[in-house]
């Protein structure tokens, strides 16, 4: 039995020049679940997330979050509704400290205006600082809080951006390759963190090439190939699906 659907992607198409990036994509994301989207490079996965957060306008179709149409809204408006995105290429403030990077989105999301508000800054600074320190500690970055973020390794920048997403307490967290560039130890730590926030009821959509990550986290998997959904189901169903094996790994067992 399907639970409450928080994100509904309906009949989405997107073409770039002569390239069909997305073709008639339909997805339903269930509240409190982790839904993975996998597929070969160039399948349209990141494009789909960009459509969801308003960075790309689809040629056709709609995206609805908790009954409200997102299509046509600006990215900051979608963020205000409780949708946070962790990007494939880290988007951080490289000149600022690790702690400041996490505190900035926290102030913006708590205030609700996503604009600088000195009164909020004064009243909430201690609470937000403490929460930011906890999030960074959970992700193994507690010893880097005063470091300049631009000097971090790629894997640490990935964890920092995840912290920037988590601190917003989103209703829906969209993760684009969250463990790319990480060591296996850091990947496992990230998996543990994402399992904990799943236990708190946060809904997540994750794009990931590392099948260890996917099968550790996903309740449901959708497979994109050449811009279209070719399979969908529980992890065990996807693991043994010959069509998925052919499209994703050239016929090899996942």
What DSSP line would sit under 36-62, residue for residue? EEE-STTSSHHHHHHHHTTSS--SEEE
Confidence at residue 95, expressed as pLDDT on a 0 to 100 scale: 93
Q: Encode pLDDT of 83-133 as tens digits.
A: 999 887 778 899 999 999 999 888 877 655 545 555 555 667 888 899 999
pTM: 0.86
Least confident of 50-59, 204-213, 219-228, 241-250: 241-250
Domain 1-77+207-254 CATH superfamily:
P-loop containing nucleotide triphosphate hydrolases (3.40.50.300)
**pLDDT surpassing 90 at residue 245:** no
φ, ψ for residue 183, nearest 5 deg: -70, 165
**pLDDT surpassing 80 at residue 28:** yes
Confidence at residue 118, expressed as pLDDT on a 0 to 100 scale: 55
The tokens describing 151, both together, are: 């000097």
Confidence at residue 252, expressed as pLDDT on a 0 to 100 scale: 47
The tokens describing 180, both together, are: 């790319």
φ, ψ for residue 153, nearest 5 deg: -70, 165
CA–centroid distance for 103 within its chain: 19
Q: Which of 57, 55, 27, 40 is nearest to 203 (CA)?
A: 27
Confidence at residue 198, expressed as pLDDT on a 0 to 100 scale: 76
């Amino acid at each position: 039995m399907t639970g409450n659907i928080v994100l509904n992607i309906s009949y989405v198409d997107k073409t770039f020049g002569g390239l069909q990036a997305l073709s008639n994509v339909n997805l339903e994301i269930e509240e409190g679940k982790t839904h993975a989207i996998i597929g070969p490079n160039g399948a349209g996965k990141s494009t789909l997330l960009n459509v969801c957060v308003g960075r790309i306008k689809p040629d056709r179709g709609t995206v609805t979050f908790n009954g409200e149409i997102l299509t046509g809204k600006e990215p900051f408006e979608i963020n205000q509704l409780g949708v946070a995105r962790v990007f494939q290429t880290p988007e951080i403030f490289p000149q600022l400290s690790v702690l400041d990077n996490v505190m900035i989105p926290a102030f913006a999301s708590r205030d609700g205006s996503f604009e600088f508000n000195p009164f909020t800054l004064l009243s909430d600074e201690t609470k937000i600082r403490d929460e930011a320190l906890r999030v960074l500690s959970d992700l193994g970055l507690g010893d880097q809080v005063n470091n300049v973020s631009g000097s971090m390794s790629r894997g640490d920048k990935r964890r920092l951006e995840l912290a920037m997403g988590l601190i917003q307490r989103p209703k829906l967290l969209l993760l684009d390759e969250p463990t790319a560039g990480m060591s296996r130890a850091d990947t496992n730590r990230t998996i543990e963190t994402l399992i904990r926030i799943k236990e708190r009821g946060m809904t997540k959509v994750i794009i990931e090439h590392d099948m260890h990550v996917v099968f550790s986290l996903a309740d449901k998997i959708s497979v994109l190939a050449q811009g279209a959904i070719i399979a969908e189901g529980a992890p065990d169903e996807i693991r043994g699906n010959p069509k998925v094996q052919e499209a994703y790994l050239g016929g090899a067992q996942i």
